[in-house]
Amino acid sequence: MAEVKSDIEIARAAKKKPIQEIGAKIGIPPEHLLPYGHDKAKVSAEFIAEARKRPDGKLILVTAINPTPAGEGKTTTTVGLGDGLNRIGKKAIVCIREASLGPCFGMKGGAAGGGYAQVVPMEDINLHFTGDFHAITSAHNLLSALIDNHIYWGNELGIDTRRITWRRVMDMNDRALRQIVTSLGGVANGFPREAGFDITVASEVMAILCLATDLRDLQKRLGDIIIGYRRDKSPVFARDLKADGAMAVLLKDALQPNLVQTLENNPAFVHGGPFANIAHGCNSVMATTTALKLADYVVTEAGFGADLGAEKFFDIKCRKAGLKPAAAVIVATVRALKMNGGVKKEDLGIENVAALEAGCANLGRHIENVKQFGVPAIVAINHFHTDTPAEIEAVKRYVAAQGEEAVVCRHWALGSAGTEELAHKVVELAESRASQFAPLYRDDMPLFEKIDTIVKRIYRGSGAIADKSVRAQLKQWEEQGYGHLPVCMAKTQYSFSTDPNLRGAPVDHAVPVREVRLSAGAGFVVAICGEIMTMPGLPRVPAAQSIFLNEQGYIEGLS
């Protein structure tokens, strides 16, 4: 049996091409690539503006069933499909999200794919990369500093220090910073108040960067940020603190998409990475819209399962950016479906067609949901070596019964050779022009009704429920002119319901909206259903403890 190599070993052995060659493949001249090392580059704003005139390629969304501890491989499949499309002669670009530094030192590995479906340089992508997240951290914290500084010097704007909603951020898992008291130590340090840090990916600045269409739009959105309220509850904007200009300056380069390559030397944009719970969880609009001008096919992903990720991709990103996805790939694994059917993690290696068939209900629901948006769907069975022929047949049979098709993919082990069939099917689907994409709800629907619509039509719950105070808050925002915004659902990714243990395809559950938040700069209203963790902690034995430089100076312990 062949030796199984680790992701980092495979990535390190990659024969990378100079990034200028990758750019040339999609028509970006070297002078419009701002290099970061020899294997990463940002695409110039001028080139992007110039390319706007061109026609768009076809946009393919990769989404998934509800995540389980078994793993689904959404990023891996996105990369594998991109390589597969290139293999069958289509010009394809992959668009994925950047990795957060914090989790890298905690529990999970990186976000660059896996096996023979990875983007490289994986170490860089999982560490500082081109500095985008650092720029976001700086811009966010500059605004935070300006707020306390404004109060220190007399608080001319009359900010109510109890009602400051703008926190600070750090790209680190640091639970000690979740809730703090600042400005202690006397007069010179300001007015003590309760405050806290979120992880950088949870910053509204991150969501803004991912939704902005150009620098001007970015600066406008930054100015629109609400940092808190006065005693009379009127909002105070970042613009009132004159913070938007300096924030935009800090984000000038970060706004430009990052070009890297897959292990097969195909182009990939890795840009932006907002939290998939309190934000929309998709890579940047700048990257996706630019890629569409440069390729026949753009393969992108959305965070978590299709109930959260695809819904927000369609209702927030596509709506705002005017994108029209041509097809969607729903990723499932036999193991994850078995978990959805009630199998414990330790028993996943044992064939269990009955449990698998039960778990397929989860997949079926996601297929239905994606089709509700008018987007044709296909299922990718991301193959694992313990899968049995009977199990794979069972999934195919189930999906066929839904009127759709399931294709086995072996990109993890084989790279593009393992996604050739999927690539052909995706092209067929996209070329059929069957997509009739439309968002789920209209802009002019009242905010609570938007939430209720998602609960009923996507989660198949009995409806959204909320306290009077939550409804009153929504009403107030409607009066202030924010009623046209889409809603960004924050809910457990593990279930259609708000109970993470309720797998499969539950119905008729009530979905309680605990809290609502306004991201006026990003342009959505967050509906929080359950607990939201915006600053993770580190585990008992953090991954950081086993990350080091080996004798050759190579990084060990990243994955």
Residue whose pair of structure tokens reads 């405050």 in the numeric block: 195
**Catalytic residue list contains 76:** yes
User: DSSP letter at 238?
Assistant: G
Asked if residue 53 belongs to a known ligand binding site, the reply is: no
Query: Which DSSP string do the residues of 252-303 spell out, in sequence order?
Result: TTTTSPEEEEETTS-EEEE-----TTTS--B--HHHHHHHHHH-SEEEEEBS
Question: Residue 482 in 3-state DSSP?
Answer: helix
Query: Which residue number, 386 or 554, has a Cβ lying nearer to its own copies?
Result: 554
Structure tokens at 535: 């600053």
Asked if residue 322 belongs to a known ligand binding site, the reply is: no
Structure tokens at 238: 């970042």
**Catalytic residue list contains 91:** no
Residue 52 Cβ vs its own copies, minimum distance, rounded to whole Å: 16
φ/ψ (deg, to 5) at 35: -70, 145
Residue 282 Cβ vs its own copies, minimum distance, rounded to whole Å: 24
Query: Which residue number, 155 or 372, has a Cβ lying nearer to its own copies?
Result: 155
**Catalytic residue list contains 252:** no
Query: Which residue number, 117 or 143, has a Cβ lying nearer to its own copies?
Result: 143
Interface positions, 82-111, toward its own copies (CB under 8 A): 101, 105
Asked if residue 182 belongs to a known ligand binding site, the reply is: no
**Catalytic residue list contains 304:** yes
Count of residues interacting with its own copies (CB under 8 A): 73
Q: Which of 8, 14, 61, 243 is the binder for its own copies (CB under 8 A)?
A: 243
Residue whose pair of structure tokens reads 């703090």 in the numeric block: 180
Distances (CA, A) of 300 to 172, 288, 328, 558: 26, 8, 10, 24
Q: Which of 179, 386, 462, 476 is the binder for its own copies (CB under 8 A)?
A: 179
Confirm if 278 and 132 have CB atoms less than 8 A apart: no
Confirm if 290 and 332 have CB atoms less than 8 A apart: no
Q: Where in 176-245 does DSSP place strands (E)? A: 180-182, 193-195, 197-199, 226-230, 235-237
Confirm if 6 and 559 have CB atoms less than 8 A apart: yes
Candidates 33-41, 91-99, 201-209, 412-420; binding stretch for its own copies (CB under 8 A):
33-41
Single out the catalytic residue among 166, 269, 304, 373.
304
Residue 379 Cβ vs its own copies, minimum distance, rounded to whole Å: 38
**Catalytic residue list contains 314:** no
**Catalytic residue list contains 276:** yes
Interface positions, 120-149, toward its own copies (CB under 8 A): 127-128, 131, 134-135, 137-138, 141-142, 144-146, 148-149
**Catalytic residue list contains 97:** yes
The whole-angstrom separation of Cα 410 and Cα 417 is 8
Asked whether position 209 contacts its own copies by CB under 8 A, the answer is no
| Residues recognised as catalytic | 74, 76, 97, 108, 276, 304, 384, 412
Residues in the annotated binding site for ATP:
68-75
Residues in the annotated binding site:
68-75
